Each structure stands twice: as C-alpha cells, then as structure tokens.
Amino acid sequence: MDFRMEHDSMGEVKVPADRYWGAQTQRSFENFQIGIEKIPIEIIRAFAILKKSSAIANNRLGRLDKRRMELISQVCDEILEGRLDGHFPLAVWQTGSGTQSNMNVNEVIANRGNEIAGEKLLHPNDHVNMSQSSNDTFPTAMHIAAVLSIEDRLFLSIDLLAETFGRLMEENEGIIKTGRTHLQDATPITFSQEISGWKNMLEKSRDMLELSLRGLYELALGGTAVGTGLNAPKGFDTEVAKAVAALTGKAFVTAGNKFHSLTSKDELVFAHGALKGLAADMMKIANDIRWLSSGPRCGLGEIFIPENEPGSSIMPGKVNPTQCESVTMVAVQVMANDVAVGMAASQGNFELNVFMPVCIYNFLQSVRLLSDSLRSFNNNCVAGIRPNREKMEENLHRSLMLVTCLNPHIGYENAAATAKKAYRENISLKEACVALGFLEEEKFDEIFKPEQMV
C-alpha cells in the first residue's frame, strides 16, 4: 500500500495515499480498533449538511471567502451523493464527544477540496471547522440525522403499513369473530374492529414521533466548545440554522440554550421513547397475527398469511410466520437500544455529554430497523392477510363468552352457571340454559344474537 505523510499538532502520520482523510483520522483509526460498528453513514451525511451550512453562514457573515465556501459546498455535495463513503472509517467506540469524526469530515473536505482546486486553499480547522467545535457539531449532526431518518424514512413505512390495515378493514367489514382477553375467549368483535386497533397503534406512534421532532429541530451549532459561542461571530447560530433548514427543507432552528444542547440529550431520549412505543406496538401486532394464523390445523387458524419459504429442514411442508418473528426480534433490539440511549444521555458531565457516538448509533439503528421491518412486514405478510371465515364462524359459536348477552335477562350468576354447565358437559349454551330452567328455547333464540354483540 502506498502512503503519504500528513501532520497535525502532534506531528507526522502515515496515511494511505488513496484516502482523503488526514492525521487525526488516522490516529483514531489506529488507536480504536474496537468492534465492527462504524459511525453511521447518516451522521456523515448530516455532517456534510452542517459543514456546507457553516460555510454558507460564515460567508454571509464575512468570515469566509466565496471560493472556499464553494469548494467546501462542492465536496459536501459529493458526500451527500455517496461518492466519498469509503473515506469515513472510524469506529463508534472512539472519543465520546465525536471529535475524531468531526475531524475526519473536516480533513476529507479539506483534502478533496484542495484536490479540486489544484492548490492548498482549505485547512481542516481554520476553514472547514470555522466558527465550530466538535462539541456543537456532533450534537447538531445527531439531531439532523435523527430528523431526516424519522421524517424521510420511518414515516413512509408507518404510513404504508397503516394504509394496508385500512384496506383490510374495508375488505373485512362485517365479519364477526370471537374476541380474546388473557388468551381466553371473550365477547365477539368484528375482524375490522380488531384490525382498526392495529392501525390506530401506528397512527398514535406516528403522533408521538411528530411530537418528539420539536426538540430535535433545535441545533447546538453556535455553542462551540462549552456553549458560550467562543470564536463564532455574532449571529452565526441563527444564520447556520437557517442554512440547514434551507438545505434540508426541515424546520430546524438554533437552540435557545446552548449550555443545555451541548450537555443534554433529553430530546433524543424522548424521541427514542416514541420509537420504543412503536416497537412495543409492533411486538403486539406481530404476535396477534401469528397467533391468529397459527395451525394450520391445531392452532387458532382464523387468518391466512402468505407462505414465503419452507419452515423446517426436517418437517416437510411446514411453513412458519417468519415475518412476524423478524418484527418481534426487531422490537426486542429497539427496546434494548432504548436502555443504551437513556444510559448514554445520563452521562452529561458539566458542559458536555461524552457518550454521543453510542447514543446516536443505537438511535439510528432503531429507526433503520423499524423502517425496514415495517416495510418488509407490510409487503411480505400483512398485504396478503386473508380471513378464514369458516374457522372464525366455528370459533365464534363455540365461545362460551357469548353467554354475556344473557346477563340482563337471567343475571350474572345464572349466566355463569349456564357457561360452566355447557363447558362441563360439552353442550351448547342454549342446551345448558334451557336445562337449568333459566329461559325457554324461543326466548333464548330471541336474545342470543352474536351479531348484535359487536
């Protein structure tokens, strides 16, 4: 491998000749050979947005000349297009402030920009990092990445699945089935009502995520090292927030209190709580669907789901609810990530949180997993759900909890006695009620109408 010599304030370092990063990136790459988890590409893209926005703001405020601004912007556009992905190699398990990743982006922009210019016009600290600190850029990148991932990726998947549930509600209107509580038979419900519960879970989760975005729109840029804004010109924070908002089309604003935005990660905790809520709902929905489709002969068997692949290496013909299993595993991971995000956010000491890379790594993994999982679940399972009308009808009329409609006519205790006799002797509710002398056959038939119980 060919190398070139790069230098920083600590001296010279050998860097691979075909990489745009510099000395500080190389030191981090060598000193933190830990795990396989890299800084998420969403963070790198967010850095490109904020570096371009900073260059624009510095130019507007008279700090940076137009040519350097345009060079920085050009390289940031290349990063956003994915053309430089191979130049960001750093591990999550680095400095807790994310300083080395900030410098990684600064060095790549400077070296690539100088290559484009054909001369050394950009310095990673003096120009690319002008008016900034790692301490305000990394929190800003976290918020930008979080907002873009939720709004442009997760919301699309939530809406897709909710739309499918809406279609299923319309298609299955009027189908009555037995309800269940405590995994035991309960009073009747329509299949469309059951589906409406699933659909509304998604809608509620989306509402909670929408609410959490308000805090994530606030950007720490302009706080620099400790929140005082040292070395940033007056008005830089509002000007750079305007530039970020313009580039992304999102409602980003400068944070009102930079001392808070550098050291507290409560907005991410709040937003991830909504992600955990969505994961909890998806666990419930996926479990409902695999219970309802269980069988094919010895389970509930009330719905059919798509048969996507063989389910066993030893049992011929077996097909399993694999999409449901995938969803529930994702839900477990998101719930586990919530612990990591909360623990990381609790480690804000004095003027800075130093658990930021692990915090955003877990946050973005949750968004990514949920986005992909909901889409896969929709396309490969939910979209193909069909009711087993015969099984629903059979289970409905075998349910002893239909006895509940008799309460107003024979009283709770007599209705309970009817249900117990029917269960004990394996006879119908009608036979038990008449045998006990609570109602005549004609009266029973008059009031015992499952379709009126929903």
Give the pLDDT score at 231: 98
Q: State what percent of residues in the chain have pLDDT above 90.
A: 99
In the structure, what pLDDT confidence band is assigned to residue 348 with cuts at 50, 70 and 90? confident
Q: What are phi and psi of 293, to 5 degrees?
A: -95, 5
Summarize pLDDT for 165-198 with one digit per residue, the tens. 999 999 999 999 999 999 999 999 999 999 999 9
- Looking at the chain, the whole-number percentage of residues with pLDDT higher than 70 is 100
3-state SS, residue 243: helix
Q: Are strands 303-304 and 386-387 parallel, antiparallel or unpaired?
A: antiparallel
Label residue 451 by pLDDT band (50, 70, 90): confident
Per domain, the residue ranges of the chain are 3-130, 139-390, 399-452
CATH number of the domain at 399-452, out of 3.30.70.580, 3.50.50.60, 1.10.40.30, 3.40.1400.10? Answer: 1.10.40.30
Q: In terms of DSSP bridges, do strands 348-349 and 218-219 run parallel, antiparallel, or are they unpaired? A: unpaired
Average pLDDT value for residue range 11-33: 97
CATH architecture assignment, domain 3-130: Orthogonal Bundle (1.10)
The CATH-assigned architecture of domain 139-390 is Up-down Bundle (1.20)
The predicted model scores a pTM of 0.96
Is the Cβ–Cβ distance between 218 and 276 less than 8 Å? no
State the pLDDT at residue 32: 98
Q: How do residues 300-327 score in pLDDT, each as one tens digit?
A: 999 999 999 999 999 999 999 999 999 9
Residues forming the active site = 182, 312
Expressed in angstroms, the distance from the first to the final Cα of the chain is 73
Residue 452 tokens read as 């009126």
- Please tell me the distance from the alpha carbon of residue 301 to that of residue 322, in angstroms, as a whole number: 16
pLDDT digits (tens, 9 = 90+) for 40-63: 999 999 999 999 999 999 999 999
